[in-house]
Amino acid sequence: MANRQTMTISLPPEMVKEVDRVRRKEGRTRSELMREALRVYVRRTTEFPTYNPTTRELREIAKGRADMRKGEYFTLDEFKAWLMGAERKKARSKKPPTRPKA
């Protein structure tokens, strides 16, 4: 452990309680837990950088949320059922699909 450096951080009391709760549950030291948290944070921010949506995307998101508030949506289960129905209909079709003209 001679190749380690000490780093001091300050945390709010509630965060210290949370850290201690997790470390006890996992049987780790504070240092082990903080090293792992930093590794995960650094990996996430470098491998998966934050995406900033465009103005148009933000507008579309707001529009979708407004539609949802009005009840204009369907659930994932409804979507899956619709997909499965479309797949069954496609599989039963006796007519071959038409090819687009080149």
pLDDT digits (tens, 9 = 90+) for 25-71: 999 999 999 999 999 999 988 887 788 999 999 999 999 999 999 99
Structure tokens at 2: 């001679």
Rounded to whole angstroms, the Cα distance separating 19 from 33 reads 8
30 neighbors 23 (Cβ within 8 angstroms):
yes
Per residue in 60-84, pLDDT (tens digit) is: 999 999 999 999 888 999 989 988 8
Domain for residue 23, yes or no?
yes
Q: Which domain holds residue 26?
A: 13-47
- Give the angle 73-81-69 at the CA atoms, nearest 5°: 10
Per residue in 3-25, pLDDT (tens digit) is: 889 999 999 999 999 999 999 99
Domain for residue 98, yes or no?
no
Same domain membership, residue 82 and residue 64: yes
pLDDT value of residue 102 = 54
33 neighbors 19 (Cβ within 8 angstroms):
yes
Domain for residue 73, yes or no?
yes
**36 Cβ partners below 8 Å, 6+ apart?**
28
* Whether this model's pTM surpasses 0.95: no
Domain for residue 101, yes or no?
no
